[in-house]
């Protein structure tokens, strides 16, 4: 079992780390306090190829592997969660969905510009009454000749008010529930398609979150991705990709909290000695170490499976659940290590705490991921959908083979 990074992966890691140190961290606290989206930093990410990191070169991307994507997400979120969120929605949810399901003409029209970072993209799935229950969405798309007429809205959409392209999901057959959902690409400027910012969020103040509104938007039939009724499948595939980047980014939060806490524990003295000498402080640092290394191992396992072409819904779910919970725990402990300074915006530790809360909710709540893991183990859900492939280190899975033959999938 080889854990060594190759030269390409090391170079990518070092390059993104320097970018974060030079271009992100110096302004991170100020941008957070001002609720300022640093578009110059996003332009820098595009120049590095991060906005098309795993997209093949033939479509304008960097053509790197998923281990490189994980390393990039970790380094980026060590600096600012808003920029890792962009990787999640632009690359994971949108571009990789287009790479798999779009026609060649559609890839040339939208994917190439996205992979080059010339256009930004978002993913329009969540609605006021449809989060974990995707089939409850109210947005509809009615076919009229060579167009679909969309009506409805989406909320909690990252980069909604900034993105040039939106991969939007709507019901073409409302009576068919999840089997009646279809996917479309909408472009900013279409008549009836408007966006708005979401204000007063707990965290990710330096990012962009908003709403999408559709009022009789006439979308050309050629903007349909895949087939009618294939939207749920596309959305679940996209979530597999997005969840992976969320998990990888969470490793960056844990590492940032650990590094900052170790540095502070060495320097801060009470009662005549560094606080790092106290076992209670050591206990908190040890928890961060455990959270970081276990989370990263789960992320790298999922990355390896992606690069091998093995279905990894279960493994990605496990990584997302564990890493995001570990990140929030690490941020909580880092505030405790720093005491009152951790509570102050001046040190930036509380920023990690606020930013780490949202990933426990979006792209599958912790409770949804726990349910998925249990249902896989119980045989109520086929391991990784129809394929049944699992990580080779998952020794308990083969014992489920007889059960799995008769299982009825409860989701993708």
What is the rounded distance in angstroms from the CA atom of residue 292 to the CA atom of residue 256?
A: 10
- Identify the CA nearest to 349 among candidates 250, 249, 264: 264
Whether the CB-CB separation of 78 and 260 falls below 8 Å is answered with no
The strand ranges marked E within 282-323 are none
What angle (nearest 5°) sits at the alpha carbon of residue 225, between those of residues 222 and 231? 135
What pLDDT sits at residue 399?
A: 67
Contact 354, 203 (CB under 8 A): yes
Distance, in Å, from the CA atom of 208 to the CA atom of 121, rounded to the nearest integer, reads: 12
Q: Which of 121, 237, 233, 129 lies closest to 181, judged by CA?
A: 233
pLDDT by residue for the chain (412 residues), tens digit each?
889 999 999 999 999 999 999 999 999 999 999 999 999 999 999 999 999 999 999 999 999 999 999 999 999 999 999 999 999 999 999 999 999 999 999 999 999 999 999 999 999 999 999 988 999 999 999 999 999 999 999 999 999 999 999 999 999 999 999 999 999 999 999 999 999 999 999 999 999 999 999 999 999 999 999 999 999 999 999 999 999 999 999 999 999 999 999 999 999 999 999 999 999 999 999 999 999 999 999 999 999 999 999 999 999 999 999 999 999 999 999 999 999 999 999 999 999 999 999 999 999 999 999 999 998 888 888 778 766 788 988 887 766 665 555 555 444 4
Using DSSP's 3-state secondary structure scheme, residue 35 falls into coil
Give the integer Cα–Cα distance in Å for 318 and 390: 12
The C-alpha atoms of residue 271 and residue 284 are separated, in whole angstroms, by: 19
CATH of domain 7-120: 1.10.540.10
d(CA 352, CA 257): 8
Buried b (16+ CB within 10 A) or exposed e, 332-369: bbbbebbeeebeeeebbbbbbbbbbbbbbebbbebebb
**Among the listed residues 402, 398, 399, 407, the one whose alpha carbon sits nearest the alpha carbon of residue 379:** 407
d(CA 305, CA 386): 16
Residues designated as active site: 363
CB atoms near residue 13 (< 10 Å): 18
What whole-number distance in Å separates Cα of residue 37 and Cα of residue 42?
Answer: 9
pLDDT at 411: 46
CATH architecture observed for domain 122-232: Beta Barrel (2.40)
Report the largest interatomic distance among the alpha carbons of the chain, rounded to a whole angstrom. 80
Helix (H, G, I), strand (E, B) or coil at 209: strand
Which candidate, 45, 36, 38, 40, places its Cα nearest to that of 18? 45
* pLDDT score, position 394: 85
Token pair in block for residue 138: 């109210």
CATH superfamily of 237-405: Butyryl-CoA Dehydrogenase, subunit A, domain 3 (1.20.140.10)
Question: Domain locations in the chain?
Answer: 7-120, 122-232, 237-405
> How many angstroms separate the CA atoms of 89 and 394, rounded?
29
Q: What is the DSSP string of 251-278?
A: HHHHHHHHHHHHHHHHH-EETTEEGGGS
Q: Whole-model pTM?
A: 0.95
């Amino acid at each position: 079992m080889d854990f060594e990074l190759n030269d390409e992966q090391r170079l990518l890691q070092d390059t993104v780390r320097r970018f974060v140190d030079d271009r992100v961290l110096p302004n991170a606290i100020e941008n957070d306090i001002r609720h300022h989206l640093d578009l110059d930093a996003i332009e820098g990410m595009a120049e590095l190829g991060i906005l098309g990191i795993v997209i093949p070169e033939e479509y304008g991307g960097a053509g790197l592997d998923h281990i490189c994507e994980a390393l990039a997400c970790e380094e980026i979120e060590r600096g600012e969660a808003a920029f890792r969120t962009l990787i999640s929605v632009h690359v994971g949810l949108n571009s990789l969905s287009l790479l798999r399901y779009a026609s060649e003409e559609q890839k040339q029209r939208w994917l190439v510009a996205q992979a080059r970072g010339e256009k930004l993209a978002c993913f329009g799935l969540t609605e006021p009454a449809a989060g974990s229950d995707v089939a409850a969405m109210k947005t509809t798309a009615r076919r009229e000749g060579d167009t679909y007429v969309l009506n409805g809205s989406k909320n909690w959409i990252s980069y909604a008010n900034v993105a040039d392209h939106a991969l939007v999901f709507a019901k073409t057959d409302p009576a068919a529930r999840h089997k009646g959902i279809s996917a479309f690409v909408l472009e900013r400027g279409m008549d009836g398609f408007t966006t708005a910012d979401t204000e007063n969020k707990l965290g990710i103040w330096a990012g962009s979150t908003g709403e999408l509104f559709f009022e009789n938007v006439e979308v050309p039939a050629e903007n349909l991705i895949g087939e009618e009724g294939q939207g749920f499948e596309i959305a679940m595939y996209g979530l597999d990709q997005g969840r992976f980047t969320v998990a990888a980014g969470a490793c960056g939060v844990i590492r940032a909290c650990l590094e900052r806490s170790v540095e502070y524990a060495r320097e801060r003295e009470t009662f005549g000695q560094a606080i790092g000498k106290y076992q209670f402080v050591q206990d908190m640092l040890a928890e961060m170490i455990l959270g970081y290394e276990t989370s990263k191992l789960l992320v790298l396992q999922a990355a390896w499976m992606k690069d091998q072409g093995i279905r990894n819904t279960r493994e990605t779910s496990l990584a997302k659940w564990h890493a995001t919970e570990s990140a929030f725990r690490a941020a909580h402990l880092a505030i405790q290590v720093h005491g009152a300074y951790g509570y102050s915006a001046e040190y930036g530790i509380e920023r990690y705490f606020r930013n780490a809360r949202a990933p426990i909710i979006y792209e599958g709540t912790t409770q949804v991921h726990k349910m998925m893991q249990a249902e896989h183990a119980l045989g109520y859900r086929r391991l990784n959908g129809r394929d049944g492939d699992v990580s080779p280190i998952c020794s308990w899975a083969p014992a489920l083979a007889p059960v799995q033959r008769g299982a009825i999938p409860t989701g993708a």
